[in-house]
Amino acid sequence: MTTPKNPSVDIQAVDGEPWVHLPNGSELRDWDRDSEIAYNQANRQTEKYRFYTRTFDFLTDNRVHGDYLEFGCHRARTFRMALTEARRHNLNEMKFFAFDSFEGLPDATSDPSVEIWKRGALATSEDEFLKMINEQGHFVDHVETIKGFYADSLTPALSQRFAEEQRKVSLACIDCDLYESAVPVFDFIEPLLQEGSVLYIDDLFAGYKGSPVKGVSRAFIEFRKRSRLRFVRHLDIGWWGRSYIAYEDPENLEVDLA
């Protein structure tokens, strides 16, 4: 594999056509599939980190107090971003909950278009996850893992525990890929949401050829119809994801800022 010096998109202005630097044939001569994966991942993780830096600024500036919940924690990439930005913003009371089977995806029944989304894919063990969190070193004692497929782990007892502890969502990252995984997630977080809660839906346009009536997108559409809150579009994250801010609408104003 030939790894580019800077695999993420670093747009550099040049004098003359085409006015930005584009790699020539020599620079990409040895480009292969591994190079493509590294390039895409660097771009995608850069987009995600931009979102976390902006959103933690939003949360602190608007005094949205609560916890970080992440559903789908493969490689702890976004989880570590959340820990880092929470530390930068001195959110010393925030708790961080990692919901994952730690065994990869469940069996898919909703026919995703990504062929690798099969049982066991995208697996990071609980031990591996915690090792990466410990190495990151931010708020380690504020992290709790909740293991299991969501249909099994998001129990009434767990909901009751969160209610008794008066937990509220500050930011929730929903990165569970499949429709059947997302449905119980939205039901679980409903009573935890407050005005100002941010939902980052990672796979809004992924896995089902971008269809808004399939996958996690469909689960979110269905959830919005039954939720006591409304959701306004916030930030786009790459081509695949989007965030929304929860708000109350007692006057039924039907705000549309899309």
Over its length of 258 residues, how does the chain's per-residue pLDDT go in tens digits?
444 445 456 789 999 999 999 999 999 999 999 999 999 999 999 999 999 999 999 999 999 999 999 999 998 999 999 999 999 999 999 999 999 999 877 677 666 666 655 665 667 999 999 999 999 999 999 999 999 999 999 999 999 999 999 999 999 999 988 898 999 999 999 999 999 999 999 989 987 888 888 889 999 999 999 999 999 999 999 999 999 999 998 888 766 665
| Backbone φ and ψ of 78, nearest 5° | -70, -30
CA distances for 116 relative to 26, 39, 75, 99, 171, angstroms = 32, 19, 17, 21, 28
The number of beta carbons lying within 10 Å of the beta carbon of residue 116 is 8
Output the CATH code of domain 45-247.
3.40.50.150
Contact by Cβ (8 Å): 206, 240:
yes
The number of beta carbons lying within 10 Å of the beta carbon of residue 89 is 15
Helix/strand/coil (H/E/C) assignment for every residue in 96-108 = EEEEECCCCCCCC
Tokens, residue 183: 């449905």
Bond before 7 cis per omega within 30 degrees: no
Cα separation, 73 vs 51, in Å, equals 17
Spans of all domains in the chain: 45-247
Pair type for strands 169-174 and 241-247: unpaired
